[in-house]
Structure 1
């Protein structure tokens, strides 16, 4: 097995791409009974703690503002979210979940909890699961640092 950084980067990227596909597939299955798609769940989940502008949701999730805007508009049309005035920016409205949107996300909770328990067992327990989370968060932070360094140079 090669320990060259370029090989490690390639294996990491391929692993993350595969994980992304796996998470999207399982998310679609979990969200479907609640009347949501994985993308709808993702955007609603981002605004459950507090309303956010579309650009803020995109930044937090690492996806394009345009994709979030399309999903946000659909959520509003379906009555799962609403646009609210943004005191910090007149034109960039805040997206907030409606009670119906919150209820839809909460209908996913039992399946979500079951998947979390299965993953924890498969990974070898709570400590191993937490370590997995820490490694992924470290990788994300490192990529943010590389991106910032690229912009600054």
Structure 2
């Protein structure tokens, strides 16, 4: 293969999803760039907007492992946008909540996020976008992760 030739696409679902994710994440990060937050950080704050959540609840709702969530929470805690405290019912579990500053930041960023959503709908199509959301939710709800290793190859 000549070095100037493009690398061919693969039929790998994971690679295609990751490419699309990086592409869309980059777009949202550009739109939100004036806010000082990346879209992943905004997503955490937005999930906490209605009510506080335990670390486990937030990690599960975002389909993130607890270590990755903890790493993403560190700058939000440093900036005073969220605070983490022990759960009053189970001291081993921690509860994450927006601070007033965090709530104000979410409200300030929402117009830019809505512009990103509208631009996505405009470019990709609102109906296709709704189908994409339904498909991505179906992927997460598929049980694929819980099924463990790949199925055995056909013996026949």
Name the structure with the higher helix share.
Answer: 1
Measured after TM superposition, the shift of residue 56 of structure 1 is 2.3
Judged with a 3 Å threshold, the aligned counterparts in structure 2 of structure 1 residues 71 and 149 are, in CA distance, closer, same or farther, namely: closer
What are the Cα deviations for residues 36-81 of structure 1, in whole angstroms up to 9, with x where unaligned? Answer: 2333223222212221122322222222211211232332221111
What are the Cα deviations for residues 84-111 of structure 1, in whole angstroms up to 9, with x where unaligned? Answer: 3413321222010111111112222222
Paired position in structure 2 for 1:137: 137
CA contact (8 A) 1:28 1:37 kept: yes
Aligned-pair RMSD on alpha carbons?
A: 2.2
| Cα distance in 1 for residues equivalent to 2:50 and 2:89 | 18
| Cα distance in 2 for residues equivalent to 1:32 and 1:17 | 21
Alignment of 1:112-123 (within 5 A): 112-123=113-124
Q: State TM-score, norm by structure 1.
A: 0.77
Paired position in structure 2 for 1:82: 83
1:42 aligns with 2:40: no
CA contact (8 A) 1:34 1:105 kept: no
Alignment of 1:47-86 (within 5 A): 47-86=48-87
Alignment of 1:18-29 (within 5 A): 18-29=19-30
Instruction: Please list every run of 5 or more consecutive structure 2 residues that lacks an aligned counterpart in the other structure.
Output: 1-9, 150-156
CA contact (8 A) 2:59 2:65 kept: yes
1:109 aligns with 2:110: yes
Judged with a 3 Å threshold, the aligned counterparts in structure 2 of structure 1 residues 140 and 148 are, in CA distance, closer, same or farther, namely: same
Judged with a 3 Å threshold, the aligned counterparts in structure 2 of structure 1 residues 67 and 149 are, in CA distance, closer, same or farther, namely: closer
Structure of greater Rg? 2
Paired position in structure 1 for 2:97: 96
Q: Find the partner of 2:148 among 142, 147, 150.
A: 150
CA contact (8 A) 2:32 2:113 kept: no
| Cα distance in 2 for residues equivalent to 1:22 and 1:40 | 17
